[in-house]
Amino acid sequence: MRGRIAFSIFGVLALAGLALVWSFGCDEKPTDPGEGGPKDYVLYWNRYGDDSAFFGYHTLTGQIDSFFLPSALIYDMKASADGELLYISYRYKISVVRTRDFKLVADLPYSGFLGVAVSPDNRHIAVQGSNLRILSTTDFSVVFQDTIGVYRSVFSANGLRLYAPGPESSCPSVYRLDLEHGFRSKITCFPDPYPIRQVAPSRDEKLLFMFRYLGSCYMLFDVFDRGGDSLVFRDLVAPGCGDMVVSHDNRFVYFTGPGDKHGWPPPAYTFARYGIRDKTVDSLLFWSVCGYDFPTGIIGHYLTLTPDDRFLAINEPYPHVRVLVFNCQSEDTAKTLCIPGMEFWHLTCQNGT
């Protein structure tokens, strides 16, 4: 089931890179190569343990931005579909930050301790706390509220439906909210005994991709055909508890586990790539050098894709604290970003063009 394994030695952003990061201030604006060419999409993340330092990396120009927003513990962060705003979720509020100048636009009084999601059509924000709230991006008003508390929700490609693992019960389930037809919700039961920890639809919503929990360090990656009401693929993810993202061209699902964090076993691969058409998995293993470290295996945690599917970004958890930018076209590393002593979290990129 496992496919090709690739190896590479990455470029280094170490102590010299530390000065580079801090040399870019809030007045710097993103640079686009021009009309007709690839867009210079920006990856954003924050410094875990500081909760005030944020970074932006321009995937084509290599420009690095930084800004500060002193506040409390961050639970999640998502870029707007057009990349013009960041939605930063805290326990008691959602902060909206403009990426053009990194100015605070608004503090929304809604709990986001279970995360936040943004629709690719840039019309709605899902705020996940004790309740699920759907906000309009026009004026940040609440257009729908459900008493069910969901987490790790994701919108469909057209922004008309929201998917999330269903509430804990005797039957593992998927929560689906139809925004197109009066915000109607539906909970679908999946009789397999393994709890669902993450779910994402294919771009055409014919398939559901799921992480299912087997036990500590172990997950199942499932592919479920909604039309045929059947399981069409299953793979063991060990170590587990990672992340997944569906490519915008509906060809691949990238997924991974975070590896040797908390004493878990070392990773068998940096990330896996499931081919939706041929139902096969390639596992890719990469290596990097950061600062004065010896070469160490990249451990994938958060994943995000640029809207053109050109770059896959992977955030490593503590203690490795790197962001790997993988070029999906050349199938090689574009950049490894790391600053000694800094742990990076909540990696995000806009999900619309």
User: Which pTM does this prediction carry?
Assistant: 0.87
Q: Determine the average pLDDT of the residues in 5-24.
A: 32
Tell me how far apart the alpha carbons of residues 313 and 324 are, in angstroms, rounded to a whole number. Answer: 6
pLDDT at res. 336: 81
- Which among 340, 346, 310, 303 has a CA at the least distance from the CA of 328? 310
Spatial neighbors of 310 by CB under 8 A, at least 6 apart, are 38, 41, 59, 327, 328, 329
pLDDT at res. 235: 87
- Would you kindly state where each structural domain of the chain is located, as residue ranges? 41-348
User: What count of Cα atoms within 13 Å lies in the side-chain half-sphere of residue 105?
Assistant: 17
At 18, is the pLDDT very low, low, confident or very high (cuts 50, 70, 90)?
very low
* Mean pLDDT score of the chain: 82
- Which among 290, 296, 292 has a CA at the least distance from the CA of 270? 296
Query: Chain-centre distance of CA 345, in angstroms?
Result: 10
Identify which has the larger pLDDT, 217 or 325.
325
Is the Cβ–Cβ distance between 197 and 221 less than 8 Å? no
pLDDT at res. 349: 97
At 244, is the pLDDT very low, low, confident or very high (cuts 50, 70, 90)?
very high
What class is the 41-348 domain? mainly beta
Tokens of 21: 């990061």
pLDDT at res. 70: 80
pLDDT in tens, 274-305: 999 999 998 877 665 565 454 555 667 789 99
Is the Cβ–Cβ distance between 38 and 310 less than 8 Å? yes
pLDDT in tens, 158-206: 999 999 999 877 789 999 999 999 999 999 998 888 999 999 999 999 9
Q: Find the farthest-apart pair of alpha carbons in the chain and give their distance in angstroms, rounded.
A: 56
Is the Cβ–Cβ distance between 272 and 289 less than 8 Å? no
pLDDT at res. 319: 58
Question: Which one-letter amino acid corresponds to residue 15?
Answer: L
Q: Is 249 exposed, middle or buried (0-12, 13-18, 19+ CB in 10 A)?
A: exposed
Signed CA dihedral, 40, 46, 47, 53: sign only: positive
At 10, is the pLDDT very low, low, confident or very high (cuts 50, 70, 90)?
very low
DSSP conformation class of 72: S
Q: Determine the average pLDDT of the residues in 250-263.
A: 75
Residue 48 pairs in a beta bridge with 343
pLDDT at res. 283: 81
Signed CA dihedral, 239, 240, 241, 243: sign only: positive
